[in-house]
Structure formats: C-alpha cells, structure tokens
C-alpha cells in the first residue's frame, strides 16, 4: 500500500521536506532560505555559478590558500593571527570562517562557545518518467501537480 499526500496544507511543508529533509518546525531563517529556492525567478551565471565567487575573490584582492587548513585563530586586538596546518602564519584585519565550527578542529583565542547540534544527511533520488496512476491506486492523473511526499509519521503497511 502506498500513501499519497495530495492535500498539503502548506507549500512550506513540501519545500522544507525536499530541501532539508525536515518538517516545517525549523527556524524562520532556514524556512526563508528554503523558500528562496522554490520560486521561478531564480538566476544562474552563464558558464557556471562558480564565476560569482571567483569574481568576488578577484575584486577583493584577497589571497586564497587552497589545500591549507587553519589550526588556530587568535584575536590580537587590531587584527587576527591565523596559523595554518602548513606552519604558515597570517595577520588579517578581517577573518570569515565559513564552515560548520563543530566539524573542524580550530582553536580560538579567546575561546568561543560552539553550541552542539545534530546534523541530518539527506539523500534524494529524482526520477523522470510517466506515472502509471493504477500503480499508486488513483483512477486518473487529473491532478497534474500531484506530489508524493515522504512523511515519517505515516506508517506504510508492507505487502
């Protein structure tokens, strides 16, 4: 038996389930970010979106150090001292740490508080094809926007 959810009370439920694998009980910021990717007015850079980050890097006159991890960040008053796993040391007026802090081993001085969090890995499979209405126990495909949604609270009987 297959359960079909075709009366979703809120598009937010569908979007957060697809994008995050979660219920709509996520934070407002996460919900807003999830909704941002659901509308038709999205854009892309011709040749690849990587060019946006590349252009920002070139415009900033910053130096990118690939294959080099940061072991520690120390607040030295007017600047930050970054020490890398290659033994290099960098003095920076601005430092942006763009990684989940609970998944790296960076020492901060003075120490910072990193709240614990539980991560969920979401796997999705997209299949393009024609739906056979008989296989999902519906008489016709009169609902062109029929949506199948996996909801953990629904128990499906085994055949």
Query: What pLDDT shows up at residue 115?
Result: 84
**Burial readout 8-28 (b: 16 or more C-beta within 10 A, e: otherwise):** eeeebbebbbbbbebebeeee
Dihedral of the alpha carbons of 29, 32, 33, 39, in degrees to the nearest 10: 180
CA angle 77, 78, 79 (to 5 degrees): 95
User: What is the distance between the alpha carbons of residues 132 and 152, in angstroms, rounded to a whole number?
Assistant: 24
Query: What pLDDT shows up at residue 90?
Result: 95
Query: What pLDDT shows up at residue 6?
Result: 45
Burial of 82: CB neighbours in 10 Å, binned 0-12, 13-18, 19+: buried
- What is the tens place of the pLDDT at every residue in 93-139? 988 888 888 888 999 999 999 888 777 776 666 666 776 766 766 66
Query: What pLDDT shows up at residue 26?
Result: 74
Q: Which residues of the chain have pLDDT under 70?
A: 1-10, 12, 19-22, 24, 37, 39, 122-128, 131, 133-134, 136-159
Query: What pLDDT shows up at residue 122?
Result: 67
Q: Which helix (H) or strand (E) holds 35?
A: helix 28-36
Domains of the chain: 1-64+120-159 (no CATH), 68-118 (3.30.720)
């Amino acid at each position: 038996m297959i359960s079909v959810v075709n009366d979703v009370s809120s598009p937010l439920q569908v979007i957060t389930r697809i994008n995050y694998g979660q219920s709509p009980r996520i934070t407002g910021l996460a919900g807003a970010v999830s909704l941002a990717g659901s509308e038709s007015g999205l854009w892309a850079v011709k040749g690849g979106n990587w060019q946006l980050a590349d252009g920002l890097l070139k415009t900033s006159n910053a130096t990118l150090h690939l294959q080099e991890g940061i072991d520690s960040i120390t607040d030295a008053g007017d600047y930050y001292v970054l020490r890398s796993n290659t033994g290099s040391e960098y003095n920076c007026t601005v430092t942006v740490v763009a990684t989940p802090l609970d998944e790296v081993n960076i020492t901060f001085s003075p120490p910072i508080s990193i709240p614990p969090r539980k991560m969920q890995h979401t796997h999705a499979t997209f299949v393009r094809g024609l739906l056979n209405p008989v296989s999902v126990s519906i008489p016709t495909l009169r609902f062109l926007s029929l949506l199948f949604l996996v909801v953990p609270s629904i128990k499906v009987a085994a055949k």
